[in-house]
Amino acid sequence: MSYNFGTNCLFLTHHRCVTHLYSIPLLNAFKFKFYNLISDCSLQNKFFQKYHTATDSPFMGSGGIKLSMDELNRKTVEEFKQSDKTPLIAVLENIRSAYNVGSVFRTADAFLLEAIYITGYTCVPPHKEIKKTALGAEDTVDWKHFANATEAIKALKENGYKVYAVEQAINSLMLQNIQFEPNEKIAVIFGNEVTGVEQETILQCDGCIEIPQLGMKHSLNIATAAGVVLWEIVRSRIS
Amino acid sequence: MSYNFGTNCLFLTHHRCVTHLYSIPLLNAFKFKFYNLISDCSLQNKFFQKYHTATDSPFMGSGGIKLSMDELNRKTVEEFKQSDKTPLIAVLENIRSAYNVGSVFRTADAFLLEAIYITGYTCVPPHKEIKKTALGAEDTVDWKHFANATEAIKALKENGYKVYAVEQAINSLMLQNIQFEPNEKIAVIFGNEVTGVEQETILQCDGCIEIPQLGMKHSLNIATAAGVVLWEIVRSRIS
């Protein structure tokens, strides 16, 4: 393999030899410095994209080069709105912290959720603290407010959603064992930071999903729990 | 099936008929109210544990009854310290927010992690803001501070850990595709809220793990990302 980017690049032409002479982390650090020296951005990207995907790349032994913001190739608000969504809705019941609400918006954006249903006294956008953790995701993800979870569940069931509470209950389904159909419409309810999902709400659900917890604490932070459960449902649909 | 808890309980003796007469949510709400009427706690638990696990329980169609704090049967600090841990270490590099650090402690407690390695300017316990989100998990989970990630990686590799950065990089492994051996020792590095894992750190890793992100935002909250990645590694070991 050889690249012709000028005389500075000579060592790359014979990189197989070089890898025998230097340790891989040292070589990679050196190449990373060289990469930063290339002033032409498109040339830089072209060079590394080609180089990194080579099966004999000496970079294979390291974590490689971070993608730039442009390379992440994310959606605009408009593109997000027009995308086919994951048929998955997160329901937030009586969440006290607006920061937690904002974090769930950010996760819902990442996993392309259909919507967030906000119920009870959970605060709604626009809100200064939601914005601080959602960082703009409150503009992409659709949301709707309901006076209480009962109303949200009614609307969800009318639209063909199966509704699960994330809670530790008798007969709850352990997260690692749940299996949903690829296009099944699912809604998951996350409850208050201290009291969890209301018992009356749970009785209206199709089941409870439980995150296995093996330590001392009784629960996870709600934004973390939302990340874990939403990921588990999304992962099977993007594999 | 019949239960003899006194005359108030008559409707349960013939519950199959009752489910035909009332909608299940209504019946469950009714039973929940009845459940709360039983003043003897151990009788209450005995009743529902027996009743809920019955295959023909009319509660099967609902989320059931929440477990009490006692029923969650969590470990004490001492029991946690003595437990066999998941051979998994979370490394926190230059995390700005102590709240995020605390949340990761709480997740590490839930998933019985070996330790948290705290590097760079990430704050360490005891710390008021860590406590606010860790809620005691900073007392169960072992932690160690290193001046920088390089030193932590050196210690990890000497102890046989494979080290991955959670980052979006060329050639990164998509989270849903990673497969670790059941007892493989794994460390995952989570980076700063804005700049992510340092490029120099990544070059010392065995690879990058990437959480698929399909929306507009470039990243997840670090505590959420930690929940998602740690769960993915833990799930395969508890299935």
Q: Does B216 touch chain A (CB under 8 A)?
A: yes
Let me know whether B59 and B27 are in one domain: yes
Give the integer Cα–Cα distance in Å for A173 and B63. 9
CATH of the domain at B201: 3.40.1280.10
Q: Are B97 and B193 in contact (CB under 8 A)?
A: yes
Let me know whether A59 and A155 are in one domain: no
Let me know whether B51 and B102 are in one domain: no
Q: Which residue has the higher pLDDT, B235 or A21?
A: B235
* Cβ-based contacts of A74 with chain B (< 8 Å): 213, 215-218
Let me know whether A38 and A154 are in one domain: no
Give the integer Cα–Cα distance in Å for B191 and B208. 12
Let me know whether B112 and B230 are in one domain: yes
pLDDT tens digit string along A164-198? 999 999 889 999 999 888 889 999 999 999 999 99
- Domain limits at B37? 1-73
The residue in chain A having the minimum alpha-carbon distance to the alpha carbon of residue B49 is A170
What's the average model confidence in pLDDT over A5-9? 33
pTM for the structure as a whole:
0.80
Q: Which residue has the higher pLDDT, B131 or A236?
A: B131
Let me know whether B63 and B108 are in one domain: no
pLDDT at B38: 62
What's the average model confidence in pLDDT over A48-53? 54
pLDDT at B68: 87
Q: What angle do CA A82, A84, A85 make, to 5 degrees?
A: 110
pLDDT at A28: 57
Select from B62, B108, B215 the Cβ nearest to the Cβ of A74.
B215
| Cβ contact B227–A232 (<8 Å) | no
Q: What is the ipTM of this complex?
A: 0.80
pLDDT tens digit string along A92-117? 999 999 999 999 999 999 999 999 99
Number of domains in chain B: 2
Q: Are A209 and A188 in contact (CB under 8 A)?
A: yes
In our burial notation (b when 16+ CB lie closer than 10 A, e otherwise), range A132-162 reads ebbbebbbbbebebbebbeebbeebeeeebb
Q: Does A100 touch chain B (CB under 8 A)?
A: no
pLDDT at B228: 98
What's the average model confidence in pLDDT over A14-37? 50
Q: Does A194 touch chain B (CB under 8 A)?
A: no
pLDDT tens digit string along B129-180? 999 999 999 999 999 999 999 999 999 999 999 999 999 998 899 999 998 8
pLDDT at A15: 38
